[in-house]
Structure 1
Amino acid sequence: MWHTLGHVDVVHGLYYLIMRGVFGLWDGGLVALRLPSVLAVAAAAVGIIRLGQRLGGTWTGLLAGLVFPLLPPVQRYAQEGRSYALICALITWASCLLVSNLSRPGRRGWVAYGAVMLTACLLHEFAVLMLLAHGVTVFRARLARAWSIAAGGVLVGLLPLAAFSTTQSAQVDWIGTPDAGEVLGFAATALLGIAFARFAGRARGPITLSALALPLLILPSALLMLTSPLHPLYVDRYVLASAIGFALLAGSMLDRLRRSARGAGTVQRVTCAVALAAVLATLVPVSTALRKPGSRVNDAVAIARAVQDIAEPGDGLLFMPSRRRVWTLARPDSFRSLSDLALEQTPVASDTLFGTELPTDRIRERILTRARVIAVRDPEGQPLDANAREAVKRSTLDAYFEECASRTVTQARITVYARPGHC
């Protein structure tokens, strides 16, 4: 693992080490892989209840804690074996420490805050955007000196990882500029949060609920989107912790509606109840869809089955681009009857995620030894990798083979090539 992190995925290194420890204690398969994320979302919900109670009252906290796990992005990453739910939990409890420190300053409290924030940033360095959001909150509260020292410690601790991860920046070359749907979705969520902020109660300490929640909701996503013309880096999971801010604001709005309904007539109460039921009803199909394999960009098990169905013993196999070889790792037995024509060293042997490939002339020679080749590719419309190995795969297939059949499974395109006249 250490050798692998030396040239790929160092940004996820701490999470991998944590999960290695989990599997060392209990090899529970997919349950062990996903359980830390489930528990992290539960811990985040408890932290949000506490934040809401401190900043808005008991009902605000309870309602915010109920809203958080119902949000579709949170539901998704509560299910996945990734670091983002853990980061959410750490940011939530760092926010609790921040609120406590602003009310009752103390060295131990700020040290704890810095340690929790640094852990979140080491799990994924873009968590530092949440630190900047806290900075906006503290600046508005005019209590910046102690926070600045703690934040400086976080940045110093993060610097080695951030500096080394720049050597692996090619890993995020796949990220494109945010599309219209992503921009509009962010804008709608931000405007909704600003509207909800009007219902936030008065300050119960040095800061208000909206002073904490709005920067968390808006600033991280806005910064990533604004840097897109220079280098696209916006992916919704990188800023999943922004959901903390939305949940707090939604909790304050629901609390306001609850208090208003107490003094309202029967018609108004029924209207509020129907509206709330309608919102919850719209979450049912979304929640159901999120629990099906088709909701994921790539279903590695379905891809393996599709290759197994379409291939014949002795067929050649090409991954185009080579990083798609990672799809074999879920069901390696499905690919054993095929010859990986470009592979020089397997992922395990080479300490890589995708293995290493042969020189271009050897790839071409090996392709030409086959009558049929199964190509596992990106879907139509995706940008083509420009490196020489990918170019020789495409040019050799185009010159000496014809396309016989193709099928798409989630985001994988599986194509059978054969010599002319032999489809």
Structure 2
Amino acid sequence: MSTSRTVEETPPGPPEDEPARSPSPPRPTLPAWLPFLAGSLAMLAVGGYRLTAVSLDWDEGATVSASGRPVPEILGLAGHVDGVIAPYYLFLHFWTRVFGSSDLALRAPSLIAMALGVGLVAELGRRLIGPATGLVAGLICAAIPALSYYSAQARPYALAFALATLATLSLYRAVERPSWRRWCWYAGFLLAAGVVHILAATVLVAHLIIVAGRWYAGRDRALLRALPASAVTAVALAPLAVLGAREQQVQLAWVTSPTWRDVAAAPEQVVQSAQVAFLLVGLALVATVVLRRRTAAELVVLAVVPVGLMLLVSLAVPVWVPRYGTFALGPLAILAAGTVTAPARPSAGTLPRVALRATVVLALIAVEALPAQILARQSHSSPDSRGLAGVIEANVAPGDGLVFGDFAWSLRPTVEHYLARHSWTAPDAAPRDLLLTRDAGRLGSLDAQECADVAACLGTTPRIWLVTPVSPAHPIDAATSKMHALRARYAVTATWAKDQGMVSLLVRR
């Protein structure tokens, strides 16, 4: 009687997102390890499917070029461009010395990191809300096109996603029991995230907001240990941030200040699917009603504040590129999963309904994501350097030369990456790079130095393979000194287009 009366007199409040505590709690229906394992395996399967179907893209050309250099040359490059990505280049340099530099070896770290990152998202969802939410959040992440895309790209974004999520998870562990040891672990993970990609450190602002809210609610002085841990991390990352700011005009010169249209398009651009973004944002908005207020508010802070900060900074110093917001997708997935699973209680009556609801939502997200998932395995909107190299291999003749047109900083390393893997390649058969005088590594740049006197360097080479991006008119008609010298001595006899790149066979007149 007394228990019943107590329940009836309890004032209504927002729905709980955790099972109510009781002297004899119900036995968990899902093992604690299942969300992490399921999320990791799902991402490994989805991201690993046709991992090398697309050849190395524009940015991966920079990765191949930089990571293949000796360590001093990588450090030299960092002083001119890509300084904030230099730690990733160093990591991949040593990785490829062990595992080789095939497409699979180059992309495997991203796939592994993304799988672990998705597993960590699932674990975070389990800790904040419950096992079912963690499980669904991990499966949602596996369906998000952007996460599949960056799991198959030899760039640092998957590592940044994993480490930023790990830093957030360690934050909650430190908040639960704010010991110095836990805050040191938190600072270490946050530092690692910032080192891999400096803009991942923007999660620190969201973390400080969460700690401030927790401190205000309970006035727990132990939470103030977050301040020195955060300060040490910020100071340690400051040189990298200064280096990035100094190189912004070189590395991100093409980025413009965001407009309101860019802000509105941010969810679609970060997710890489308008339909999936609409579903996730809609479910996340519902989560702010059905979840506990503090849990929902903190997840919103984690998803919105880092991206909002980058957009705000970009008004003065343009740095916003949608791929930099990838690590905000974890909290968004947890919010969406919370909407699906929050009403669940570990009882026989509710779990089947929640399982059905989760299945329907996951199926809907997967169907809406399918076009973008397919496209990511067909094209990265870059030249198909593998296909270009294949054309050269199939039609090469002894004594042929090789010339690169625009965007040689990426085309040269990627095409030569694939040419070096063809069985026919030998010193007397491989086409020679006719205009190369000093490689990019010696210059501390991504661009190599080419002959000033193009005609002299072309010499009497009978045939030349010209590799360029696709353009409306043939590149040889461009009004540049290089193309003028080629046009005066050679005629185009055949052209092959491969995605956003093309290779032309020129024969001496």
* Alpha-carbon displacement from aligned partner over 1:267-289 (angstroms, at most 9, x marks no partner): 99988855543333344454444
Q: 65-74 or 120-129: which moved more?
A: 65-74
Q: Is 1:301 the equivalent of 2:386?
A: yes
| Cα distance in 1, alignment partners of residues 158 and 188 from structure 2 | 18
8 Å Cα contact 1:37-1:77 kept in structure 2: yes
Higher-Rg member (1/2): 2
**1:406/1:30 Cα in 2 relative to 1: closer, same or farther (>3 Å)?**
closer
Q: What TM-score results when the alignment is normalised by the length of structure 2?
A: 0.67
Deviation at 1:367, TM superposition (A): 4.3
Gaps of 5+ in 1: 385-389
Determine the structure 2 residue equivalent to 1:117: 190
Q: C-alpha displacement at 1:114, in angstroms?
A: 1.0
Report 1:144-163 matches (<5 A): 145-163=224-242
User: TM-score scaled by structure 1?
Assistant: 0.79
Does 2:468 align with 1:377?
Answer: yes
1:191–1:414 distance in 2 versus 1, CA, 3 Å: same
2:439: which partner in 1? 346
Which amino acid is 1:365 matched to? A
Q: Residue 2 in 1 paired to residue 72 in 2?
A: yes
Residues 382, 501 of structure 2: 8 Å contact kept? no
Is contact 2:299-2:331 (8 Å) kept? yes
Number of aligned residues: 406
TM-superposed CA distance for 1:113, in Å, is 0.9
**Counterpart contact for 2:383–2:469, Cα < 8 Å:** no
Q: CA RMSD in A?
A: 3.9
Give the alignment of 1:314-353 within 5 angstroms: 314-321=399-406, 322-323=408-409, 324-333=411-420, 337-347=430-440, 353=446
1:256 maps onto 2:342 in alignment: yes
8 Å contact from structure 1 (residues 196, 252) kept in 2? no
Match of 1:387 in 2: none
Q: Which moved more, 1:20-29 or 1:152-161?
A: 20-29
* Distance change >3 Å, CA 21–CA 142, structure 1 → 2: same
Name the structure 1 match of 2:287.
197
Q: Which whole-Å CA distance do the structure 2 matches of 1:270 and 1:331 have between them?
A: 47
Alpha carbons of structure 1 residues 66 and 267: separation in structure 2 relative to 1, 3 Å: closer
CA distance in 1, matches of 2:242, 2:358: 52
Cα distance in 2, alignment partners of residues 121 and 227 from structure 1: 17
Q: Please give the alpha-carbon distance, in whole angstroms, between the structure 2 residues aligned to 1:381 and 1:160.
A: 44
Residue 184 (structure 1) aligned to one of 265, 271, 275 = 265
SS of 2:229's equivalent? helix
Shift of 1:374: 3.4
Which residue is equivalent to 2:44? none
Amino acid at match of 2:326: L
Q: Structure 1's 403 and 135: CA in aligned 2 closer, same or farther, altered over 3 A?
A: farther
- Deviation string 1:3-41 (CA, Å, 9 cap, x unpaired) is 232124332222233334434555484444333333322
| Partner SS, residue 331 of structure 1 | helix
Could you give the per-residue CA deviations for residues 134-192 of structure 1, whole angstroms, max 9, x where no partner exists?
Answer: 23333444468433322221121112223334454413334467796895252674843
Give the deviation of 1:47 after TM superposition.
Answer: 2.1
CA positional deviation for 1:253: 1.3
Matched, 1:238 2:327: no
Q: Deviations over 1:113-137 (max 9, x none)?
A: 1111111111111112222232333
Name the structure 1 match of 2:162.
89
CA distance in 2, matches of 1:182, 1:112: 34
The aligned amino acid for 1:79 is A
Q: Give the partner amino acid of 1:3.
A: E
For 2:139, give the aligned amino acid.
L
Question: In 2, distance between residues paired with 1:400 and 1:80?
Answer: 40
> Aligned residue for 1:76?
149
- Which residue of 200, 205, 210 corresponds with 1:132? 205
Higher mean C-alpha displacement, 278-287 vs 1-10: 278-287
Alignment partner of 2:291: what SS? coil
Cα distance between partner residues in 1 of 2:338 and 2:134: 8
Report how far residue 59 of structure 1 moved.
1.7
What letter corresponds to residue 256 of structure 1 in structure 2? A
Q: State the partner residue of 1:106.
A: 179
Q: Structure 1's 157 and 36: CA in aligned 2 closer, same or farther, altered over 3 A?
A: same
Name the % identity: 25
Question: Quick one: distance in 2 between partners of 1:411 and 1:175?
Answer: 21
Structure 1 residues 25 and 409 mapped into 2: Cα distance closer, same or farther (>3 Å)? closer
Q: What residue is the counterpart of 2:252 in the other structure?
A: 172
State the secondary structure of the residue aligned to 1:241. helix
Aligned 8 A contact 1:91 1:130 in 2: yes
Greater relative CO, 1 or 2 (CA 8 Å, sep 6+): 2
**Conservation of the 8 A alpha-carbon contact between 2:284 and 2:339:** no
SS in 1 for 2:382: coil
Q: 1:249 to 1:376 in 2, by over 3 A?
A: same
Equivalent position SS for 2:471:
coil
Q: 1:166 & 1:42 partners in 2: Cα distance?
A: 31
